Structure formats: structure tokens, C-alpha cells
Amino acid sequence: MAEQDFTSSENPQCILLKDVRSALKPDELGVEIATIAIPAAMALTADPIASLIDTAFIGQIGPVELAAVGVAIALFNQISRIAIFPLVSVTTSFVAEEDAMRRAGRLDFEEDVLSSKDSEKKMLIPQKGLGEKMPSLDSQKSLEVGVVAQGKKHIASAPSALIIGGILGILQAVFLITAARPLLSFMGVKYGSEMSTPAEHYLKLRSLGAPAVLLSLAMQGVFRGLKDTKTPLYATVSGDIANIILDPIFIFVLKMGVRGAATAHVISQYLIALILFWRLQAQVDLLSPSLEYLQLGRFIKNGFQLLTRVIAVTFCVTLAASLAARLGSTEMAAFQVCLQVWLASSLMADGLAVAGQAILASAFARKDYNRAAATAARVLQLGIVLGLCLAVMLGFGLHFGARIFTQDPDVLHLIGVGVPFVAATQPINSLAFVFDGVNFGASDFAYSAYSMVIVAIASISALFFLSSTYGFVGIWIALTFYMSFRAFAGFWRIGTATGPWKFLRS
């Protein structure tokens, strides 16, 4: 189906309303978005759901252990995001661009060969299909069209992502293990407190899985760029099922407590990494011929911009957890449950962001601006719909489901206080996540970084002021402001039709 012409729009601010009646229409674009977004959302929410199950098991040990592990998980996740987010986002965009150009070059090449009447050119057509390398093509042309022996694709960003992911994973593990105590102290868990020992044990053991986590996410970025989100889903679900099975065995049967929860999680992460690597090496050539082919410089340049952004994001959420921990173990336990639900539900919108990023990166690589604008409008509209649905579900569900995580009446009371914020922010969160994917798909990494720094400065000020004034409620008010600022910053770039979106004014 032909897409509506968006490039002549005089009001880029109205992109959210463009062809809004077709938002849920199962046309070609809608089906492609769903094919990518649904498995991606399921894979993205699988790990937070596994963390929720961890939280439920640990909550049966006691509120102190629940609070301690809550701090350790928050710290591990936020430091992981410093490395993971730039790596995955850059990888997805680069792989999608390379694959789009590879496909375009291969189609052009096939047409040239098949339309030629020259007998010498006819001899170039292989007997076993175009997947084999043409003997008379030079190496550069072969690289451009992605022709590889044994049918594997040449995607330079794939081995680059794995190398960088492996190095970052090892560095993260060493850093978290050696600096566990001062990091936990920064989070409000002082040495000698009742939360100190279980938090330190959990953090150090879980850090052993950091290399697997970084490698897994790098490979997921490659699969997303290839618009294959089913493979990461299968791998993630397999690992998380293993985690769920091992949790009660290590925690209760072997009486390892929080150490058991961390051990089960580490084993599941290495299982996910092995499954993903096995599937990826069958599709993509991971043995690169030279450092120039790896394009490490391109990764580092754009990754550094996103690193700036994710540090700002990380500091905001980590600061919120730290401020909650300083209020006491009861407040931290309630905050941990609310935060995990908040993140798990909000990340469902990241599935739409992944779909938008992959499709947009391909469209921009081909300079297909109608496709780019149509995709941006559709995923943003779907993000609003998803956010409203999540708000209703969580508004009712979390009130009744809180006892899954703890039986402590004080913790349950505070969870009830946090529920309205967790539910009401879902439409805002969904828009913020989808806007991120839209701007990443346009490779607008610099704007994403600088705008987030401004958002972080405003949000950090709000966190300090509101938490000191209103305590637990103040933290959630500040987090609501934070996500609202993020959504507005994402909209501003498209709404003003600047940067890669200037075609909206043409």
C-alpha cells in the first residue's frame, strides 16, 4: 500500500495526528512494525520480569534482604546501561543501514547481471545462486553487495559490536567487584548496616555475569538491525526460564539466600549469550579481515555521544534509588517493587522504539523520506495507545498484586502510595521511549545526548528538592517530571523539523 506523502507538511508538530485513523490498521507498514515490535517487547520485558520473580523469591526471605537486593539490582542495572545502551542503539542503527545498503546494492547488481546480453557477463552468473562470490568482482564491490561465501552476510558492525561488548563486559565486572562497597555506600547502604552484607554479596556475584550481559545485548542489537527480534526473544525466554527454575533451588533448597538468586541469574545470562552467538554466527561473517573493516572509530564516535546521554539517564534513576535507600529499608523495599514494575511495563514501549529505529534507519539509508515520516507517525501513535492500556492495567492490577512481592504491611502501604504514579506515567513513558527510537533511527545521536543532559540537570534538581520536602512521594513526583521532560525533548526535534527531520518542511 502506498504511504501518505508527509514531506509536504507545513506543520511538523502535527505528526502525531498524521493519518491517525490508520494507527491500528494492519497494512504493510503496520504488519512490519508488529512483526518487529511484539517479539522485541517480549524480549525486553522478559529480563525485568525475571528480576520481578527474583524480587518475589527474595521477598520471602525478609524485607531487609529485599531492600538490599533492590539497591544492588538498581546499581547493577544503571551501571550496565552506561555500556549497554550506547552499544545496542548504535549497533541497531548501523546494522540496519548496512543491511539496507547491502540489499539495495545486491538488487541493483542482480538486475545488471540478468539484463545484460553480453556473453562474458552471463558467465558471471553462478550456478548455485547469487549467494556465492563472483569471481570477477573486485573485493570492494563484493563487500558492498554483501556477497559472502557459504551464504553469510558481511555486516561490519556485527563483529565490531561483539568486540566492544566483550571488552566492556569484562571492564564492568572488574569495576563492580572491586568497587562494590563504596558504590553501595554511595547508594545509601553504609558499611555495617543491616543491608550491607547481603547487598554486597549479591552485587559481586551478579557482576560475574556482566560479560555475558554485554555480549548478549550487542548480539541483540545486531539481530534488531536485521529486523529479527524473534531470535533474541527465544534466547531471552530460554535463559529466564532457567533462572526461574534455578532460583528456588539455590535460594531455598541449597539455602544460599541472596547468593543463590545472583548465581541463578548469572547462569541464565551465559545461557542467553551462548544461544545468541550460535544463531548469529550461522548468519553473519564474524571473522573480519582487517581493523579498517571493523569501523571501530565510527562506533566509538557515536557511542561516546550516547554514552553522555545514558550517563545523564543513569544518574537520574540511580539518584532516585539512592534517595529512597536513605529514607530506610521499608521505603527502599517499596521503591524497588514500584521501580521494577515501572520499568518492566514501560519497556514494552521499547519494542515499538526498536521497530521504529530499525525501519527508520533503513528508510534514511535509502533516502525514502515518505517511509521515514510514515513510520515515525505510526510508532508514536501506537506508543500513546500502548501507554493508555498499560495505565489502566497497572492502576488496577498492582493494587491487588503487591502481595506477590512482600507481606510486610508497611511496605505494602508505601507500594499503594506509589501505584498512582506508576500507572499515570505510562503514556508519558511510552512516548519518551518511542521518541528515543525514532531519533536513533535517524542517527540523531548528538541531539539525543545534549538534550538529555539538559533534562537530567532539571530532573536532578527536582529530585533533591522534592525528596527532601515530600519524601517517598516527592521522589515519584520528580520521576514524573523527568519522564515528561524526556518526552518533550524527543518531540522538540521532530516538531521543529530540524536536523535529520528538516525534510518535513520541504
pLDDT for residue 484: 94
Tell me the residue type at 199: A
pLDDT for residue 1: 42
> Nearest 5°: phi and psi at 126?
-70, 155
CA distance 303 to 167: 14
Q: What is the 3-state secondary structure (H, E, C) of 197-220?
A: HHHHHHHHHHHCCHHHHHHHHHHH
**Paired strand residues for 153:** 284
**What sign does the CA torsion over 391, 333, 481, 495 have?**
negative
pLDDT for residue 114: 43
Q: HSE on the CB side for 35, CA within 13 Å?
A: 12
Q: HSE on the CB side for 237, CA within 13 Å?
A: 11
Domain boundaries, the chain: 12-505
Look-up of cell digits 507500594: 415
* Collapsed DSSP state (helix, strand, coil) of residue 254: coil
pLDDT for residue 106: 56
CB 140 within 8 A of CB 123: no
* The pTM of the whole model exceeds 0.85: no
H-type alpha helices, 425-444: 426-441
**Paired strand residues for 284:** 153
Tell me the residue type at 454: I
Tell me the residue type at 334: A
How much is the CA Rg of the chain, to the nearest whole Å? 24
CA distance 240 to 42: 12
pLDDT for residue 11: 67
Q: HSE on the CB side for 189, CA within 13 Å?
A: 30
CA distance 5 to 128: 41
CB 69 within 8 A of CB 261: yes
* Collapsed DSSP state (helix, strand, coil) of residue 6: coil
* Cα distance between the two ends of the chain: 23
CB 195 within 8 A of CB 67: yes
SS3 content of the chain, % helix, strand, coil (to 5): 80, 0, 20
Tell me the residue type at 486: R
The DSSP symbol for 341 reads H
pLDDT for residue 15: 67
pLDDT for residue 19: 73
pLDDT for residue 434: 92
Look-up of cell digits 543501514: 97
CB 91 within 8 A of CB 225: yes
pLDDT for residue 275: 96
User: Count of residues for the chain?
Assistant: 506
CA distance 242 to 60: 20
- Residue ranges of the chain with per-residue pLDDT less than 50: 1-4, 6-9, 109-114, 116-149
Which grid cell is 373?
Answer: 515520516
CA distance 490 to 434: 9
CA 299 to chain centre: 17
Angle between helices 210-225 and 63-115 (to 10 degrees): 40
- pLDDT tens-place string over residues 397-451: 777 777 777 778 888 888 888 888 988 999 999 999 999 999 999 989 889 889 9
CB 441 within 8 A of CB 37: no
Which grid cell is 33?
Answer: 512494525
Residue closest to 172 by CA, chosen among 197, 203, 202: 203
pLDDT for residue 333: 85
pLDDT for residue 73: 83
Neighbouring residues of 469: CB distance < 8 A, sequence distance ≥ 6:
none
Identify the burial level of 127 via C-beta atoms within 10 angstroms of its C-beta, where 0-12 means exposed, 13-18 middle and 19 or more buried.
Answer: exposed
CA distance 109 to 104: 9
pLDDT for residue 260: 92
